[in-house]
Amino acid sequence: MLEITNLCKRYDRFALGPIDLRLEPGTVHGLIGPNGAGKTTLFRLVMGTVRRDQGLITVGGRRAQAASGDWKQRIGYVGDYTPLFEHWSGARNLDAFAAFYDSWSDEVAQSLASRLELDLSQTVRAYSTGQRTKLAIVRALAHHPNLLLLDEPASGLDPVARETFLEILFEQMGNEELTVLYATHHVSEIERMVDRLVLIRGGRILAHESVDALVENWRRITFRTNRPIGDVPHQVSGVREGDDHQVTTSSFQSAVWYLESQGVERIETSRLTTEQICVQVLRHGVARRKGHD
Amino acid sequence: MISRLVRMQLRSRLHELVLSGGTMLVLLVLFVYVMWTLAVRLAPASDGRVDLLVLSAGVSSVLLAVAVFRRHAREKRTRLLAELPVSTLQVSVASWYVRLLGLWIPVLAYAVVLARVADLRFATLVSVVLATYLGATTLVAAMSVALTIPHLPLRLSAWVRGIYLAAVLVAVVIWVVWSAFVFVPAAEVVEVAGMGARGVAGVGAPGLVASLLVSAVGLVLLDVWLRGRADDYLG
């Protein structure tokens, strides 16, 4: 559904890329990264609101280019800021947007607004941040998108609205063609719905792996030995207190085999939560080997 | 798509003007009232037309520039349009369509005042209206280009931008002075600016209108072309 090849964007103090990313139809991806990692820039590049320096973006087989806006027909986008016609009501804003989408459904828009408890008759100028986000969500979903780009969509929503939004999103995922890229700082928010995680830092993608694989492979290993053992394979971080060692590895099986081959006994492994894994990846990287602290 | 964009922008701007354009409207009414009073008082004396022409052209241009380039509103509108499934070119063309349409309002208002009080021949009045319209378009386009330049991938230093802005201001001054020279009797020009002005005035209204047409069309096309190459979406 979304294919990004060798995408680069350079600013004075920040550079994104080169980014290569492929999202298959019907999959849900969480985009996780610290502030300033390039998440919003990535979304803007896909939406064409920022010009890329190089690279290729295709959405549903359509190439993203300034000369045509067709590729955005089936994209639903909730950005970090929601530009709207301030003097118009929510309903009038939606009417204006509807004219540009081939597959817009007023019924869907009304239904979503009703579920999100959004008063469409109110002037947008009087909307709170959360209400603006709700309108952006309605706009993003009312034209039956095949690609949903969500840039921290729940950040301005109250707990009830956030829950309703996530319910709506779950329902939308019933559409087998819908691909979602969901950026957030709260892993727990998306943990139960995403297939894969895209971890980004400093404008580069550090990992794009399935949640199951991450949880399976990333382990914290504790063991006791007084012999020097060197770096454990795929060790990401480690702590040593006397003979007690605790290392985090992105491939626990290789690590365990290695430790066993070194004659280490009483090796204990424990799983990490998805959030802990994300923190480890973003803090230390994936393939980075690190000695004992 | 362009017609939808034009309709959407027209509706939004009209709505905006009606609801929150109160200050702008008051300024506009005040301006017309002052112009009217000034014109009526100066009507018997033919040399009052010079002041009238220069003042009205200048104030109109400033008002237009302020109205068109309220930066915050422009940025919001730009980001809104950027998210729609339309191309940069379509948005640029639609935006210019709306601007060019909007520019007629103050120009025609000015023409009505001028027609009522000034003793100009119909042909001259048409030339004045055309020159004012094209001059205002030139000014708006020049400012738009100036605002687009910082968004180009090629980073220009501050002094290059300063030179460009200075050139725009000089061009506007030349335009206003030239307008005065062209549309007033030669004897008054000599009185005002000395013998050297005869050469400029000799080009006449058609020459002025033609040159303004070239500058307006040229700058509008340049603006559309630059927006297509800007770093950010600037439809």
Domain boundaries, chain A: 2-210, 218-284
Q: Provide the chain B residues 62-91 that lie in CB contact (below 8 A) with chain A.
A: 76-77, 79-80, 82-90
Task: Give the model's pLDDT for residue B235.
Answer: 44
A97 in contact with B at a CB cutoff of 8 Å? yes
Task: Give the model's pLDDT for residue A110.
Answer: 93
Token code pair at residue B111:
């023409």
Q: How confident is the model at residue B72 (pLDDT cuts 50, 70, 90)?
A: low
Check A72 against B153: CB less than 8 A apart: no
Nearest-CA distance B86 → chain A (Å)? 4
Query: For the ranges A21-25, A65-69, A214-218, B32-36, which has the lowest average pLDDT?
Result: B32-36
B132 in contact with A at a CB cutoff of 8 Å? no
Task: Give the model's pLDDT for residue B189.
Answer: 43
Task: Give the model's pLDDT for residue A288.
Answer: 45
A96 in contact with B at a CB cutoff of 8 Å? yes
Nearest by CB to residue A83, choosing from B8, B76, B153, is B76
A-chain CB neighbours of B10 within 8 Å are none
A73 in contact with B at a CB cutoff of 8 Å? yes
Task: Give the model's pLDDT for residue B16.
Answer: 67
Check A99 against B89: CB less than 8 A apart: no
Q: Determine the residue of chain B that is closest to A67 in CA distance.
A: B87
Task: Give the model's pLDDT for residue A145.
Answer: 92
A-chain CB neighbours of B4 within 8 Å are 99-100
* CA dihedral of residues A252, A256, A258, A259 (deg, nearest 10): 130
Check A100 against B232: CB less than 8 A apart: no
A-chain CB neighbours of B22 within 8 Å are none
pLDDT at A48 over 70: yes
Q: Determine the residue of chain A that is closest to B232 in CA distance.
A: A50
pLDDT at B176 over 80: no
A166 in contact with B at a CB cutoff of 8 Å? no
Contact call for residues B233 and B78 (beta carbons, < 8 A): yes
Dihedrals φ, ψ of B231, to 5°?
-65, -45
Please tell me the CATH superfamily of domain A2-210, with its number.
P-loop containing nucleotide triphosphate hydrolases (3.40.50.300)
Q: Determine the residue of chain B that is closest to A95 in CA distance.
A: B8
Task: Give the model's pLDDT for residue A191.
Answer: 83
pLDDT at B201 over 60: no
Three-state DSSP class for residue B71: helix
B150 in contact with A at a CB cutoff of 8 Å? no
Task: Give the model's pLDDT for residue A179.
Answer: 93
**How many Cα atoms occupy the beta-carbon half-sphere of A99 within 13 Å?**
15
d(CA B14, CA B27): 17
Nearest-CA distance B20 → chain A (Å)? 8
A25 versus B110: the higher-pLDDT residue is A25
What is the CATH code for A218-284?
A: 3.30.70
Task: Give the model's pLDDT for residue B191.
Answer: 46
Query: For the ranges A91-95, A256-260, B115-119, B197-201, which has the lowest average pLDDT?
Result: B197-201
Task: Give the model's pLDDT for residue B194.
Answer: 43
Nearest by CB to residue B85, choosing from A66, A73, A88, is A73
* CA dihedral of residues B144, B150, B152, B154 (deg, nearest 10): 140
B20 in contact with A at a CB cutoff of 8 Å? yes
Check B76 against A87: CB less than 8 A apart: no
State the average pLDDT over residues B68-87.
72
| pTM for the structure as a whole | 0.77
Find all residues with CB under 8 Å of A141, minimum gap 6, and list them.
A76, A108, A112, A148, A168, A172
Query: Nearest to residue B84, comparing CAs of A34, A174, A48?
Result: A48
Three-state DSSP class for residue B206: helix
State the average pLDDT over residues B49-78.
58
State the average pLDDT over residues A127-149.
92
Instruction: Express each pLDDT in A13-44 by its tens digit.
Output: 889 979 999 999 999 999 999 888 899 999 99
Instruction: Express each pLDDT in A259-288 by its tens digit.
Output: 888 888 788 888 888 888 888 888 877 654
Query: Nearest to residue A252, comparing CAs of A276, A235, A274?
Result: A235
- DSSP for A12-44, written as a single string: SS-EEEEEEEEE-TT-EEEEE--TTSSHHHHHH
pLDDT at B207 over 80: no
Q: Determine the residue of chain A that is closest to B15 in CA distance.
A: A87
**Mean pLDDT for all residues in chain B:** 69
Nearest by CB to residue A47, choosing from B16, B83, B89, is B83
Q: How confident is the model at residue B203 (pLDDT cuts 50, 70, 90)?
A: low
pLDDT at B187 over 50: no
B-chain CB neighbours of A87 within 8 Å are 12, 15-16, 19-20
B189 in contact with A at a CB cutoff of 8 Å? no
B-chain CB neighbours of A49 within 8 Å are 79, 82-83, 232-233
Per the listing, tokens 């905006």 go with B16
Find all residues with CB under 8 Å of B170, minimum gap 6, and list them.
none
Nearest by CB to residue A49, choosing from B4, B83, B155, is B83
Percent of chain B with pLDDT over 70: 51
Q: Provide the chain B residues 88-127 that lie in CB contact (below 8 A) with chain A.
A: 88-90
A231 versus A117: the higher-pLDDT residue is A117
Task: Give the model's pLDDT for residue B190.
Answer: 41
